[in-house]
């Protein structure tokens, strides 16, 4: 195997024996072959579309397949095998585009050993040129981010063919020898399609569940048995809440589901009582203490310990061998009764040491813009010196303590704008308020970085300046491929001088980094001592 798609990759180079995430060599092989087949399917479908044909369902299938290969989503070989079979079936039902189609358009596995053998030649390292490999990888990982967000929007009935067509165009490009400038423009276009996808998901979430309101979330535990729901899919949460409302159990959010508390539609369920635990990588300790069932709706799934594995459920594209997956039935409905029945037999959750402090979330675009006058006045009269965007992901590595230290060291006249699970590094610190405005404004999940962009654009308009002339600095933390997409989206919007950490992506070659530095001023984070004066200039 060779995988370097996430920030925790071995030695900052690549996982070659087993993933730090727990991905086995065999699963990596199935994922590589699935991506390879999706490229062939995309190429054939695009050719058919140009002639007025094509299969309109192929785009969503490809998005779901790419989503399954994102870090910490699916570790189940049988599920990947089923996706491989489906990819071949989709592709072979389409007409051949020419007699000289690439291998990805014609190859099909006859056995498991065929898949493992093919994986040796079609993975990341199949592209020998380092810079081309870097550009293709950046594009592929950005597409995985688009695919995840698109899938969440689609279950809420929001679709956009231009997005799925771009995914296919970009995948098919990897079967051609495109010149470097064309590859660069596809990578930048990926950021633009990313913005569109984030906006689509924002619209899907807010039209289904209302506009997030600034909300205080409890982190204490109740006396009834609980169900813990994690991941990013709000439709799954809705179905779970509706089905469990009279079951005598409580529902808690974990990780990236925390911002769900801010949506008016979920506030009407009194048994959604709070948030349990923190970001994804603490799950081994926290799930053990929770005592009740845990439902995974997306990443980040860590291979479970035996003492709680029997209480896990997955749904959507997530999967783990031996963990039941709740599939969608007709009309997308899901039956969560096995989760609810198990909860009734469980002990209530144990309180977690250090938990108990309220958390604030729901500072999405409408909620913050309703305070716009207050915010603009506070900037003008010097109460707010600067905003620091600290959005992104959390992760296991010790060097991420930097983000807690950075938040603590920020002067009291600064405000942190955040989204994603990076916030757990500082959202329970007592950072206070400025004139009633919380110093940590949590817009929501990583996809709600879109909200931060809307806020920045509105501030730029209010001050009559460009987005890079605002008193805003970017100190972004990344881990997986949705963060890659968010970064590309920010670049597409023209945001400059982003600081990225805790490491630069292993898939960025020195030449590609040079382009990013020259055109966008991207740099790696350093120490709090060095970064703070740069991001918050002295008065």
Q: Which does 300 bind (CB under 5 to 8 A by kind): ligand SF3, ligand SF4, none?
A: ligand SF3
What is the nearest approach in angstroms of ligand SF3 to the Cβ of residue 393?
3
350 CB-near residues (< 8 Å, 6+ apart): 221, 289, 290, 291
Assess 32 for contact with ligand SF4 (CB under 6 A): no
Q: In 57-129, where does DSSP find H-type helix?
A: 58-68, 77-92, 112-122
- For the purposes of burial, counting CB atoms within 10 Å of the CB of 373, is it exposed (0-12), middle (13-18) or buried (19 or more)? exposed
Give the number of other CB atoms < 10 A from CB of residue 225: 22
> What does 483 bind: ligand SF3, ligand SF4, none (CB cut-off 5 to 8 Å by kind)?
ligand SF3
Residue 137 within binding range of ligand SF4, rule CB under 6 A: no
Q: Which of 5, 134, 138, 215 binds ligand SF4 (CB under 6 A)?
A: 5
Q: Report, in Å, the least distance between residue 394 CB and ligand SF3.
A: 6
Residue 69 has phi, psi (to 5 degrees) of: -90, 0
> Which ranges of 390-507 does DSSP label H, i.e. alpha helix?
401-409, 449-463, 481-492
Secondary structure (H, E, C), 256-312: HHHHHHHCHHHHCCCCEEEECCCCHHHHHHHHHHHCCCEEECCCCCCCCCHHHHCCE
Of 5 and 297, nearer to ligand SF4 (C-beta) is: 5
String of b and e for 188-218 (b: at least 16 CB within 10 Å)?
ebbbebbbbbbbbbbebbbebbebbbbbebb
9 binds ligand SF4 (CB under 6 A): yes
Stretch that binds ligand SF4, among 7-15, 88-96, 440-448, 494-502 (CB under 6 A): 7-15
- Asked if residue 3 binds ligand SF4 (CB under 6 A), the reply is yes
69 binds ligand SF4 (CB under 6 A): no
Q: Can you read off the two tokens belonging to residue 497?
A: 């001088």
Residues near 38 by Cβ (< 8 Å), separated by ≥ 6? 62, 65, 66, 87, 171
Which of 45, 71, 278, 451 is the binder for ligand SF4 (CB under 6 A)? 71
* Interactions with ligand SF4, residue window 478-497 (CB under 6 A): none
CB of 67 to ligand SF4, least distance (A): 14
The CB-of-106 to ligand SF3 minimum distance in angstroms stands at 36
User: Using the 8-state DSSP alphabet, how is residue 93 labeled?
Assistant: T
119 binds ligand SF4 (CB under 6 A): no
DSSP secondary structure letters along 162-194: HHHHHHHHHHHHTTS---HHHHHHHHHHHHHHH
Between residues 3 and 156, which has the closer beta carbon with respect to ligand SF4?
A: 3
CB of 485 to ligand SF3, least distance (A): 11
Confirm or reject binding of residue 133 to ligand SF4 (CB under 6 A).
no
The binder of 393, among ligand SF4, ligand SF3, none, by C-beta within 5 to 8 A per type, is ligand SF3
Q: Which is nearer to ligand SF3, 226 or 420 (by Cβ)?
A: 420
Round to whole Å and give the CA distance between 305 and 520: 43
- Which of ligand SF3, ligand SF4, none binds 201 (CB below 5-8 Å, type-dependent)? none
Nearer to ligand SF3, 479 or 507 (CB): 479
Q: Where are the alpha helices (DSSP H) in 415-476?
A: 449-463
Query: Hey, which residues between 343 and 372 contact ligand SF4 (CB under 6 A)?
Result: none
* Binding site partner of 8, from ligand SF3, ligand SF4, none, Cβ cut-off 5-8 A by kind: ligand SF4
Residue 487 contacts residue 150 (beta carbons within 8 Å): no
Rounded Cα–Cα distance for residues 483 and 449 (Å): 10
Q: Which entry of ligand SF4, ligand SF3, none binds 5, CB below 5 to 8 A by partner kind?
A: ligand SF4
Q: State which residue, 3 or 119, has the beta carbon closest to ligand SF4.
A: 3
Nearest to residue 294, comparing CAs of 396, 226, 221, 220?
226
- The listed partner (ligand SF4, ligand SF3, none) that binds 482, CB under 5 to 8 Å by sort, is ligand SF3
Can you give the binding site for ligand SF3, defined by CB under 6 A? 255-256, 280, 299-300, 393, 420-421, 445-446, 479-480, 482-483
Question: Is the sign of the CA dihedral 419, 422, 424, 426 positive or negative?
Answer: negative
Comparing CB distances to ligand SF4, the nearer of 4 and 149 is 4
134 contacts ligand SF4 (rule: CB under 6 A): no
Which long-range contacts link 319-324 to residues 24+ away (Cβ below 8 Å)?
319/68, 319/73, 319/74, 319/75, 319/76, 319/79, 320/74, 320/75, 320/76, 321/75, 321/76, 321/77, 321/78
User: For ligand SF4, which is the closer residue by CB, 4 or 276?
Assistant: 4
**Residue 280 binds: one of ligand SF4, ligand SF3, none (C-beta under 5 to 8 A by kind):** ligand SF3
Q: Kindly state the number of chain residues that form the binding site for ligand SF4, as judged by CB under 6 A.
A: 12
* Interaction site with ligand SF4 (CB under 6 A): 3-6, 8-9, 15, 19-21, 23, 71
């Amino acid at each position: 195997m060779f995988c370097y798609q996430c920030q925790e990759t071995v030695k900052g180079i690549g996982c070659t024996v087993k993933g730090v995430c727990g991905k086995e060599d065999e699963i990596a092989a199935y994922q590589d072959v699935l991506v390879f087949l999706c490229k062939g399917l995309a190429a054939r479908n695009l050719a058919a579309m140009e002639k007025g044909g094509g299969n309109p369902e192929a785009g969503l299938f490809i998005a779901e397949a790419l989503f399954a290969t994102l870090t910490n989503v699916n570790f189940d070989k049988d599920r990947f095998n089923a996706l491989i079979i489906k990819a071949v079936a989709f592709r072979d039902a389409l007409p051949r585009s020419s007699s000289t189609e690439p291998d990805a358009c014609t190859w099909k596995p006859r056995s498991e050993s065929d898949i493992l053998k093919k994986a040796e030649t079609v993975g990341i390292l199949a592209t020998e040129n380092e810079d081309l490999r870097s550009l293709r990888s950046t594009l592929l990982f950005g597409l995985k981010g688009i695919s995840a967000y698109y899938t969440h929007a689609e279950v809420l009935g929001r679709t956009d063919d231009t997005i799925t067509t771009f995914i296919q165009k970009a995948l098919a490009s990897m079967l051609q020898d495109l010149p470097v400038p064309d590859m660069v423009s596809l990578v930048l276009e990926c950021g633009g399609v990313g913005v569109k996808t984030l906006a689509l998901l924002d619209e899907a979430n807010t039209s289904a569940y209302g506009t997030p309101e600034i909300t205080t979330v409890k982190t204490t535990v109740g006396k009834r048995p609980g169900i813990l729901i994690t991941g990013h899919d709000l439709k799954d949460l809705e179905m779970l809440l509706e089905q469990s409302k009279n079951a005598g159990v409580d529902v808690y959010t974990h990780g990236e589901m925390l911002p769900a508390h801010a949506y008016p539609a979920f506030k009407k369920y009194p048994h959604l009582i709070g948030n349990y635990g923190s970001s994804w990588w603490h799950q081994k300790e926290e799930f053990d203490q929770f005592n009740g069932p845990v439902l995974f709706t997306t990443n980040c799934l860590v291979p479970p310990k035996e003492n709680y594995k029997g209480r896990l459920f997955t749904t959507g594209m997530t999967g783990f061998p031996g963990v039941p997956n709740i599939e969608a039935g007709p009309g997308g409905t899901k039956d969560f009764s096995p989760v609810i029945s198990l909860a009734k037999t469980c002990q209530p959750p144990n309180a977690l040491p250090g938990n108990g402090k309220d958390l604030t979330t729901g500072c999405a675009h409408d909620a913050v813009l309703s305070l716009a006058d207050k915010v603009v006045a506070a900037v003008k009269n010097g109460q707010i010196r600067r905003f620091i965007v600290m959005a992104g992901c959390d992760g296991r590595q010790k060097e991420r303590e930097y983000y807690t230290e950075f938040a603590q060291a920020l002067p009291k006249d600064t405000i942190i704008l955040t989204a994603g699970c990076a916030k757990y590094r500082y959202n329970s610190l007592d950072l206070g308020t400025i004139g009633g405005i919380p110093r940590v404004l949590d817009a929501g999940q990583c996809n709600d970085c879109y909200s931060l962009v809307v806020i920045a654009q509105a501030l730029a308009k209010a001050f009559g300046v460009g987005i890079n002339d605002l008193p805003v600095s970017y100190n972004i933390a990344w881990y997986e491929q949705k963060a890659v997409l968010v970064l590309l989206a920010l670049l597409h919007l023209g945001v400059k001088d982003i600081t990225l950490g805790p490491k630069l992506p292993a898939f960025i070659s020195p030449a590609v980094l040079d382009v990013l530095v020259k055109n966008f001023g991207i740099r790696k984070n350093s120490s709090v001592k060095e970064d703070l004066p740069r991001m918050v200039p002295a008065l």
